[in-house]
């Protein structure tokens, strides 16, 4: 179940750096709100897969449900409820406003993950299969 996978961890680090750059330096109306949300589920997926050897669909659904849960908690004003409304870090990590567009971005991000994983699985057959 637990197995460190360098490739997923490297992707996680790359996506984490990208997300930090977006959060700190990008203040537009497309990349920060949409691309950032699209990438964050891929980042979480890569982090989980770096440590846990679980099926793609199970991991993808779990990450998507986690993202949806965070978004619903934003709708419920979790940051304010926790008394962290003045914390810039809490507002960046947890968020403070619900948006259906975020749910769509999360869904599209996970769909990309599933498609890429499926393509990768087809391109690199398992070692148990016999050639030709």
Helix (H, G, I), strand (E, B) or coil at 52: strand
Total tally of structural domains belonging to the chain: 1
Give the pLDDT confidence of 59-82 residue by residue, as tens digits. Answer: 999 999 999 999 999 999 999 999
* Reported confidence tier of residue 130, pLDDT bands at 50, 70, 90: very low
Range of the domain at 38: 6-116
- Residue 86 tokens read as 């003045």
Q: So what's the pLDDT on residue 126?
A: 60
Indicate whether 1 belongs to any domain.
no
**Is residue 31 predicted with pLDDT exceeding 80?**
yes
Indicate whether 124 belongs to any domain.
no
Indicate whether 17 belongs to any domain.
yes
Q: So what's the pLDDT on residue 131?
A: 47
Indicate whether 67 belongs to any domain.
yes
Mean pLDDT, residues 117-132: 70
- Residue recorded with tokens 């993202």: 67
pTM of the model: 0.86
Indicate whether 125 belongs to any domain.
no
pLDDT over 90 percentage in the chain? 77
Indicate whether 132 belongs to any domain.
no
Q: So what's the pLDDT on residue 60?
A: 98
* Reported confidence tier of residue 129, pLDDT bands at 50, 70, 90: very low
Indicate whether 22 belongs to any domain.
yes
In the chain, where does DSSP find H-type helix? 6-25, 36-51, 56-75, 78-81, 88-93, 100-123
Q: So what's the pLDDT on residue 8?
A: 98
* Reported confidence tier of residue 95, pLDDT bands at 50, 70, 90: confident
Indicate whether 123 belongs to any domain.
no
Residues 29 and 70: beta-carbon distance below 8 Å: no
Residues 25 and 90: beta-carbon distance below 8 Å: no
């Amino acid at each position: 179940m637990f197995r460190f996978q360098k490739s997923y961890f490297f992707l996680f680090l790359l996506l984490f750096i990208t997300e930090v750059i977006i959060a700190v330096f990008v203040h537009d109306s497309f990349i920060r709100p949409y691309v950032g949300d699209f990438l964050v589920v891929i980042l979480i997926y890569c982090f989980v897969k770096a440590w846990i050897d679980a099926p793609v669909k199970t991991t993808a659904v779990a990450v998507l449900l986690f993202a949806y849960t965070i978004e619903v908690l934003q709708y419920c004003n979790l940051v304010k409820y926790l008394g962290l409304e003045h914390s810039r870090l809490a507002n960046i990590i947890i968020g403070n406003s619900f948006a259906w567009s975020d749910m769509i971005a999360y869904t599209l991000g996970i769909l990309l993950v599933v498609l890429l994983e499926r393509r990768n699985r087809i391109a690199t057959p398992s070692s148990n299969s016999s050639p030709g």
